[in-house]
Structure 1
Amino acid sequence: MAVYFFYGDEDYNIELELSKMSSKLNPDFKSMSLQTLDNPDFSTLISALRTTPMMFGDMLIIINAEEYFTSNKNFFDDVELSEIEDALKNNPETLNIVFVLKLPRDENKKPDSRRKLYKILSKYNVKEFPTFKTYKTAEIAGWIKTQARNKDISLNDDAISLLIEQIGNNLREFDTELDKLKLIAYPEKKITRKMVEEICISNEDLFGFADLIMQGERDKALLEFNKLLDKKHPLEILSAIQTMLRKWIILKTKSSLSPGELSKLTGQHEFVVKQTLQKLKNTKTADLVKLKENLYEAEFRIKSAEAIDIISEVECAIIG
Structure 2
Amino acid sequence: MQYGEAMMSLRKNELKKLYLIAGEEKYLAEKFLNALKAKLLPEAKQNNITKLDDTASVNDIIEACSTMPFFCDKNIIHVHSSLFREKKGKTAEKRELLFIDLLANIPEFTVLILETDEKPDKRRKLYKTIEKYGLVFEAEPVRAYNIGEWLKTKFKEIGKTPDTEAYEYLLATINVMQKVSLGFLDKELDKLALFTERRDIRKHDLIDILSGLPEISAFALAEAAGSRDLKKALALLDKQLSSGVPRISILIILIRHIHQLWKINFYLTQGADSRIIGQKLGLVPFIAEKLIVQAKHFELHTLRETVSALADADYKLKTGQNTPVLFEDILIRLCR
Question: What is the TM-score with the length of structure 2 in the denominator?
Answer: 0.61
The answer (yes or no) to whether the contact 1:184–1:195 under 8 Å persists in 2 is: yes
Deviations 1:207-243 (A, max 9, x none): 324777xx9x7x9755312434699943654443343
Q: How many pairs align?
A: 288
Is 2:134 the counterpart of 1:111?
no
Aligned residue in 2 for 1:197: 207
Residue 188 (structure 1) aligned with residue 222 (structure 2):
no
Q: Tell me: CA distance 1:119–1:161, structure 2 relative to 1, closer, same or farther (3 Å).
A: closer
Assess if the C-alpha contact under 8 Å between 1:63 and 1:100 holds in 2.
yes
Superposed CA RMSD in Å reads 4.9
CA distance in 2, matches of 1:228, 1:142: 32
Q: State how far apart, in whole Å, the 2-side matches of 1:46 and 1:154 are.
A: 49
Please say if residues 49 and 76 of structure 2, whose CA atoms lie closer than 8 Å, have aligned partners that are also in contact. Answer: no
| Structure 1 residues without counterparts, runs of 5 or longer | 105-109, 308-312
SS in 2 for 1:172: coil
SS in 2 for 1:143: helix
Equivalent residues of 1:169, 1:267 under 8 A apart: no
Q: Does 1:268 align with 2:279?
A: no
1:50–1:87: 8 Å Cα contact kept in structure 2?
A: no
- Which of 70, 79, 85 is the aligned partner of 2:100? 85
Q: Would the alpha carbon gap of residues 290 and 227 (structure 1) be closer, same or farther in structure 2, given more than 3 Å must change?
A: same
C-alpha displacement of 1:144: 0.9
Are 1:240 and 2:253 an aligned pair? yes
Question: Is the 1:9–1:131 contact (alpha carbons within 8 Å) kept by the matching residues of 2?
Answer: yes
Q: In 2, are the aligned partners of 1:49 and 1:97 still within 8 Å (CA)?
A: no
Alpha carbons of structure 1 residues 284 and 241: separation in structure 2 relative to 1, 3 Å: closer
Q: Which residue of 2 aligns with 1:179?
A: 187
Structure 2: distance between partners of 1:178 and 1:272: 26
Deviations 1:16-62 (A, max 9, x none): 4345446777689769844454xx8xx72442343358879844223
Residues 202-241 of structure 1 mapped to structure 2, 5 A cutoff: 205-209=221-225, 221-228=233-240, 233-234=245-246, 236-241=249-254
Identity across the alignment (%) = 16
1:126 counterpart (100, 119, 135): 135
SS of equivalent residue, structure 2 residue 80:
strand
Q: Which ranges of structure 2 fall in alignment gaps of 5 or more residues?
A: 1-15, 330-336
Distance 1:23 1:257 in 2: 52
Q: After superposition, what is the alpha-carbon deviation per residue over 1:164-223, rounded to whole angstroms, capped at 9, x for unaligned?
A: 2333498935663453354467433554211223444485531324777xx9x7x97553
Aligned counterparts of 1:182 and 1:231: Cα–Cα separation in 2:
26
1:154 corresponding residue in structure 2: 160
Compared with structure 1, are the counterparts of its residues 8 and 253 closer, same or farther at alpha carbon in structure 2 (3 Å cutoff)? farther
Sort the Cα spacing of 1:253 and 1:30 in 2 relative to 1 into closer, same or farther, 3 A: farther
The answer for the alignment partner of 1:2 in structure 2 is 17
